[in-house]
């Protein structure tokens, strides 16, 4: 791999995400719900091994989405706050903690939609 080249990481498709290109307080929240909804649908269709995804993967997808809309994505801690609030409200649930690919990274906490 050439120096400076990034390794391609597979992630769920965000092709069905339709959010308004304006900044509203609920936009991150809606993104997470739509993203996890797509994960759940693809899992049920047999296209994914996981029913949900881990926080960093969701944040990376959020950053990609914001880059396309040319809006600032905010901080990872603000994104984690959205995840935490959704969990406290019972809309999403933590269902697994798995080790990261590299030993020096934090464990991955997986979340999924708890409502059908």
- Which residue matches tokens 């933590």? 94
Residue 100, both tokens: 């990261």
Angle at 38 between CA 37 and CA 43, to 5 degrees: 100
Residue 9 confidence (pLDDT): 43
17-57 pLDDT per residue, tens: 545 454 555 789 999 999 999 999 999 999 999 899 999 99
Residue 1 confidence (pLDDT): 46
Band of residue 116 on the pLDDT scale cut at 50, 70, 90: low
Domains identified in the chain and CATH numbers? 27-113 (1.10.10.10)
83-110 pLDDT per residue, tens: 999 999 999 999 999 888 877 788 899 9
- Which residue matches tokens 């959020």? 62
């Amino acid at each position: 791999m050439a120096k400076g080249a990034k390794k391609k990481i597979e992630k769920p498709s965000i092709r069905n995400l339709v959010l308004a290109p304006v900044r509203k307080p609920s936009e991150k929240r809606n993104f997470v719900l739509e993203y996890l909804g797509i994960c759940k649908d693809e899992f049920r269709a047999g296209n994914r091994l996981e029913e949900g995804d881990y926080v960093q993967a969701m944040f990376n997808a959020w950053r990609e989405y914001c880059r396309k809309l040319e809006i600032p994505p905010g901080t990872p801690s603000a994104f984690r706050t959205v995840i935490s609030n959704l969990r406290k409200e019972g809309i999403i649930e933590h269902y697994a903690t798995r080790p990261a690919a590299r030993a020096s990274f934090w464990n991955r906490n997986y979340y999924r939609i708890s409502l059908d």
